[in-house]
């Protein structure tokens, strides 16, 4: 059975700019070929079992020629594969997508074109430059900076381009910058015409050089600007002074590794990305529910016998409450028992089930619970939690005269893929900060290596801890702690990181 081909525009670089349709197609693909300018984070949407083949072209060096790419796509599709070619920007804008589509169509293979956000518009926007503006430019013209090598002469009419009052955008033009500038000046384009050269646009390493047509070649040489760049020529460049936004984000250019379990890291990641950071999800642990339903059911049926139920994590709330509903009961099952949660985030998880906690301690650690919880002798306390957790809470509660029942709901196990990804980031000095939000996220990572490797991996990266307990484990493992949250929540950790870089959300 013949497969299918998706020619997908991956956008200009920021992984958040990929389209929903592109994600949908990547998820159903069995083989993905991808180009040089594609953000590798987009490959996370591809099923783990799918084959991935790099076919990028960089600086004239081609891992595959265009004809070889066409042949590869056709061969794999004829073998029954669902093939996705993930291309930077938009496949039909200087992406040779038209040629590939022709080849696939002529081979009798079904295909779809998934447009992408073009770098021609997105990258200037991230630099604070609108490509059109009613007061400055009523037209925009996109020109390739490198025509096909097989052409005898250029088909670009620079005499016409020099007379246009609209915005000129050159893609892939850095190697020919001197020539394109000369061609415009030789056709009487003003030396004072504003020019912006934007490198690695939409990504944390974005750099923007603002110059004029008469000075840009010299300025690019002095700043050592190299591809990939988008070149914008026209009066709209002057609007950057007023409209710059992306490069003003407080964590712009910062790369942050998150070690939380994948299911819990979404809001954390989004918060950092909104502050301008590039975020790498490297979960070092996975949450694995335990087969303790019979034990949970027993305690649910006699909840009215307890004085307190204490939740020390959102995972415990979710697993326990899901079981309440699975056996045909609802939140009213907790109607006669007081509920304590370790922190505001755990409280929010509980509120999703319509329950407001009776107690949230001032300090979001077990010690905080012990300080604020008023226990009477013979009070019965139910403690649903991870199978391996600190015994401080149940031991101290028993010493205070309480009768404590501990239910192991889940265990944390090492996430091999996330650990491998984090090691690679640290080995290549890619991350500026690595965050740890629990003791288990630390131990699952550090115990995969010896002391020498730990010292080497953490030498050039700042380590951020969610609180004193996690910090203590890090130091015990021989890892320095550079940042510690004063409020033991993810928001508290974000605030501590902003303070570490001496920036604020008003920056």
Tell me how far apart the alpha carbons of residues 37 and 87 are, in angstroms, rounded to a whole number. Answer: 7
CA angle 171–172–177, rounded 5-degree value: 95
| Cβ proximity of 324 and 331 under 8 Å | yes
How does DSSP classify residue 420?
H
Contact 441, 284 (CB under 8 A): yes
191, HSE (Cβ side, Cα atoms, 13 Å): 2
Q: Which long-range contacts (CB under 8 A, 24 or more apart) does 483-487 make?
A: 483/433, 487/364
Q: Which of 76, 87, 90, 172 is catalytic?
A: 172
Q: Which residues contact 301 (CB under 8 A, 6 or more apart)?
A: none
Question: Which tokens sit at 227?
Answer: 């591809």
Q: Is 172 marked active-site?
A: yes
CA 485-491-494 angle, 5° bins: 65
Q: Compute the C-alpha angle 465/276/469, nearest 5°.
A: 5
Residues 429, 43: Cα–Cα separation, whole Å: 21
Known catalytic membership, residue 400: no
Give the pair of three-digit tokens for residue 408: 């192991």
Two structure tokens written together for 400: 């205070």
Using a CB cutoff of 8 Å and minimum separation of 24, what contacts does 291-297 make?
292/407, 292/408, 292/409, 293/323, 295/407, 296/320, 296/323, 296/384, 296/407, 296/409, 297/323, 297/327
What the block records as the tokens of 253 is 């250019």
* Candidate list 44, 52, 57, 423, residue with the active-site label: 57
Q: Are strands 82-87 and 4-9 parallel, antiparallel or unpaired?
A: parallel
Q: Which of 4, 14, 35, 345 is catalytic?
A: 35
Calpha distance 162→187 (Å, rounded):
6
Contact 204, 194 (CB under 8 A): no
Instruction: Look up 455 and say whether it is catalytic.
Output: no
Sign of the Cα pseudo-torsion (285, 287, 291, 295, in order)? positive
- One DSSP character per residue, 172-219 reads S-GGGHHHHHHHHHHTT--TT-EEEEEESTTSTT-EEEEEETTTHHHH
Positive or negative, the CA dihedral 425, 428, 430, 436 is: positive
Give the catalytic positions in this structure.
35, 57, 172
């Amino acid at each position: 059975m013949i497969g299918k081909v998706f020619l997908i525009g991956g956008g200009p670089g920021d992984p958040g700019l990929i389209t929903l349709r592109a994600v949908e197609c990547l998820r159903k693909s069995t083989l993905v070929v991808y180009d040089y300018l594609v953000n590798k984070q987009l490959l996370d949407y591809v099923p783990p079992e799918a084959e991935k083949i790099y076919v990028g072209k960089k600086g004239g060096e081609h891992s595959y020629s265009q004809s070889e790419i066409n042949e590869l796509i056709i061969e794999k599709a004829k073998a029954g594969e669902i093939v996705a070619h993930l291309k930077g920007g938009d496949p039909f804008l200087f992406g040779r997508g038209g040629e590939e589509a022709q080849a696939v169509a002529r081979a009798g293979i079904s295909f779809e074109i998934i447009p992408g956000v073009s770098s021609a518009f997105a990258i200037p926007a991230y630099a604070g430059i609108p490509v059109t503006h009613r007061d400055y430019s009523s037209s925009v013209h996109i020109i390739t900076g490198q025509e096909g090598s097989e052409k005898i002469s250029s088909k670009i009419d620079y005499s016409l381009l020099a007379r246009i009052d609209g915005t000129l955008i050159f893609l892939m033009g850095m190697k020919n910058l001197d020539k394109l500038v000369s061609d415009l000046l030789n056709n009487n384009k003003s030396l004072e015409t504003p020019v912006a050269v934007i490198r690695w646009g939409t990504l944390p390493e974005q750099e923007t050089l603002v110059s004029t047509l008469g000075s840009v070649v010299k300025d690019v040489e002095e700043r050592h600007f190299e591809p990939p760049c988008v070149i914008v020529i026209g009066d709209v460049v002057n609007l950057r002074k007023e409209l710059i936004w992306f490069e003003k984000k407080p964590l712009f250019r910062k790369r942050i590794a998150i070690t939380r379990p994948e299911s819990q890291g979404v809001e954390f990641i989004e918060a950092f990305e909104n502050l301008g950071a590039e975020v790498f999800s490297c979960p070092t642990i996975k949450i694995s529910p335990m087969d303790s339903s019979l034990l949970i059911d027993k305690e649910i049926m006699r909840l009215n016998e307890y004085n307190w139920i204490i939740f020390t994590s959102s995972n415990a709330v979710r697993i326990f409450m899901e079981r309440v509903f699975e056996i045909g009961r609802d939140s009213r099952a907790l109607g006669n028992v007081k509920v304590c949660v370790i922190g505001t985030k755990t409280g929010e998880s509980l509120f999703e089930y319509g329950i407001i906690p009776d107690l949230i301690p001032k300090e979001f650690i077990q010690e905080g619970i012990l300080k604020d919880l008023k226990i009477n002798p013979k009070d019965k306390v139910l403690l649903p939690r991870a199978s391996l957790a600190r015994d401080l809470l149940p031991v101290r509660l028993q010493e205070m005269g309480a009768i404590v029942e501990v239910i192991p709901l889940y265990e944390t196990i090492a996430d091999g893929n996330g650990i491998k990804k984090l090691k690679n980031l640290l080995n290549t000095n890619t991350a500026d900060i690595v965050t740890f939000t629990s003791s288990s996220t630390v131990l699952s990572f550090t115990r995969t290596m010896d002391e020498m490797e730990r010292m080497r991996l953490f030498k050039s990266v700042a380590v951020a801890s969610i609180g004193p307990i996690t910090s203590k484990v890090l130091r015990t493992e021989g890892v320095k702690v550079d940042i510690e949250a004063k409020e033991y929540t993810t928001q508290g950790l974000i605030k501590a990181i902003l303070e570490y870089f001496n920036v604020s959300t008003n920056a």
